[in-house]
Chain A
Amino acid sequence: MKDTLTENKPVLTLSKVCKNFGGVVAADNISIEMFGGQTFGLIGPNGAGKTTLLNLITGIYSSDCGQIHLNGKNITKAPTHKRALLGIARTFQHPRLLERCDIQTNIQLGIDLANKRRRKNPQQLQSEITMLLGYAGLKNVNLSDSVEKLSYGQRKMLEIVRSLLSEPAVLLLDEPAAGLNSKEMEYIVALIKVAIEWDIAVLLIEHSMDLVMGICDQITVLNFGHQIASGTPAEIQENQAVIDAYLGGSGHAAC
């Protein structure tokens, strides 16, 4: 499917990134490599610094030390909008949509971003939108309705669709499944699979261990800003430090 050359080159690299808030260490020398077409899990207890790390990657926070590279380009000092242009897309723990606009406008914003890099073919675009809305369970919504009419789950789905349409290199998902029912969970999985098919590097922050262990290729565990373990799902489940800090005895006790 993919040639090994691109496989070996990480899309996003964090090398020894750190961030302190006053005396609190939110990220301590975090090093991560993410590859296109792979899903990278980021887990840990609440307050471990997962969302902080996302904010460091998107440039909402600036890092105190370390470097961030996207496709070999140093983006450590780049502002948020520039990183987005270069291909970093994200969703938020609580969806951030344009509340006073209709669904179409929200979707169109993602397309606008893709258009800034390269004009999209309208026909292909239309089929992509239809496909993504289908996977997201939003097939039957009226695009000219206000987003206020969407349920919480639908909002989260719409945010992921918007991000995917922006054709990112990296997609950061901040607890996409939190507060969703099992049907909506399936939509999330379907959307992540689309991202993988499109060769996007996906970073998934999630408390649902079934989802993380089922879909991730690599997992990093954070605790109090420290990277306590990294590895495949199987390795993580066996790791004593992780079990002590987060997973607990059973290895499947989510949250």
Chain B
Amino acid sequence: MIQRLKSLNKPLLLVAAVIAVIGSIFIPSITSSYMLRVLNITMISYLCVLSVYVLLGMCGQNSFAQAGLWGVGSYITANVMMKLGFPTLIAFAASTLGTALFAFVLGFAFFRLRQYYFTFASVGLMAILSGLFMNWKEVTGGAMGISDVPDFSIGGFIANTESSMYFVIIIVCVIVSLLMKVLFKSALGRSFMAIRDNEMAANCLGVNSLLTKSIAFAISGALCGAAGALYANLTGYLSYQSFTYQQSTMYLVMIMLGGTVSPVGAIIGTFIISLLQEWVRPLQNYMQLIYGVGIMILMIVQPEGIIGGGKALYERYVNRKQARSDIKQSL
């Protein structure tokens, strides 16, 4: 059945991809610079939500510290570029690998805790990071923050406009999304899912829980680190107020809405919530209430999110069609 589903989807997917590519190339020329900024921030959020996808969706481990990791990535880029004077690419690599290493080491300590106790530890980590961001003046600029982070540049190309930055970010997003697909199909990805679905069976199949979970946390750290680097280049100004516990929660809300089963869920969730925030600005005071009630309704009606719900609907449709044709044949 799924094979049929795939063959049906292939040309459709191709058309969708072509439209998406052409559309994304023309978006900067038809939207305002303000809207582009919103889009850029949304795509950066998407990277962070993907980090939740890896950790929660694939490996079954929930973290409230993702915005903290995002902040770590941002501050690494700012410091590497401004204090050490390195070019963007090196700063980007330092943010990605540095945050990954940071997450790996912490993961190696935290994942000695079993079940949901990692989540508790991550809440603590977020609190500590918030405190550090606010008070470590030498590195984070303290409450004043860091301003004038240099623009993203490679060789002669300088992404100093909103639209040039848009292309940089979208390219990173596409590459990362493709890497997610590779991860999903790899032995490492399978060992994540084995831990998510049945940790004891995973152990009996040679999967080292502690190491594998730490690697998942490291990969999620790398994603947040990359997002942080892009964010520092994009806005040029870093404030501890961006990297908060609330932001971590927001990433979770985004993936819950989209669905944890696939990266597509991360895309859908991120875009809906981010754009919703823009469109309903007049209702800003009520946003928290709307999220709260919305999540509760979502969890009751469709715990697998929009993607999960869509999949279930589609399967029901295909099954029904199959059943109908079976009946016709038997007549």
A: which residues have CB within 8 A of B?
58, 60, 79-82, 84-85, 88-90, 92, 96-102, 105, 108-110, 112-113, 115-116, 142, 144-145, 162, 166
Q: Is the interface of B mostly helix, strand, loop or mixed?
A: helix
Interface residues on B, range: 20 to 34
Q: How far apart are the CA atoms of A81 and B197 in the complex, in Å?
A: 16
Q: How far apart are the CA atoms of A110 and B209 in the complex, in Å?
A: 16
Q: How far apart are the CA atoms of A145 and B200 in the complex, in Å?
A: 23
Contacts A142-B2, A144-B3 known; A109 to B205 CB distance under 8 Å?
yes
Are B190's CB and A100's CB within 8 A?
A: no
Please indicate which of the listed interface residues A81, A92, A102, A166 has the most CB atoms of chain B within 10 Å of its own CB: A81
Chain B 161-205 interface 0/1 with A at a Cβ cutoff of 8 Å (1 = within): 000000000000000000000000001001101101110111111
Residues of chain A lying within 8 A (CB to CB) of residue B190: 101, 105, 108-109, 112
B: which residues have CB within 8 A of A?
1-3, 187, 190-191, 193-194, 196-198, 200-209, 261
Residue of A nearest to B203 (CB): A80
Are B201's CB and A115's CB within 8 A?
A: no
Q: How far apart are the CA atoms of A100 and B205 in the complex, in Å?
A: 17
Residue of A nearest to B260 (CB): A100
Are A97's CB and B198's CB within 8 A?
A: yes
Q: How far apart are the CA atoms of A9 and B174 in the complex, in Å?
A: 56
Are A81's CB and B206's CB within 8 A?
A: yes
CB distance from B130 to the nearest CB of A (A): 34
CB distance from B60 to the nearest CB of A (A): 9
Are B187's CB and A115's CB within 8 A?
A: yes
Are B193's CB and A101's CB within 8 A?
A: yes
Residues of chain B lying within 8 A (CB to CB) of residue A88: 204
Q: How far apart are the CA atoms of A138 and B10 in the complex, in Å?
A: 28
Q: How far apart are the CA atoms of A81 and B203 in the complex, in Å?
A: 5
Give 16 CB contacts A-B under 8 Å.
Answer: A60-B203, A81-B209, A84-B203, A84-B205, A90-B204, A92-B201, A96-B200, A97-B197, A98-B197, A98-B198, A99-B198, A100-B197, A101-B197, A105-B193, A109-B202, A142-B2
Are A166's CB and B198's CB within 8 A?
A: no
Q: How far apart are the CA atoms of A79 and B207 in the complex, in Å?
A: 11
Q: How far apart are the CA atoms of A99 and B195 in the complex, in Å?
A: 11
Instruction: Kindly identify which residue among B1, B196, B198, B205 contacts A110, using a CB–CB cutoff of 8 Å.
Output: B205
Residues of chain B lying within 8 A (CB to CB) of residue A100: 193, 196-197, 261
Are B187's CB and A81's CB within 8 A?
A: no
Contacts A101-B193, A105-B193 known; A166 to B2 CB distance under 8 Å?
no
Residues of chain B lying within 8 A (CB to CB) of residue A112: 187, 190-191, 205-206
Are B206's CB and A96's CB within 8 A?
A: no
Q: How far apart are the CA atoms of A166 and B202 in the complex, in Å?
A: 12
Residues of chain A lying within 8 A (CB to CB) of residue B207: 81
Q: How far apart are the CA atoms of A102 and B184 in the complex, in Å?
A: 13
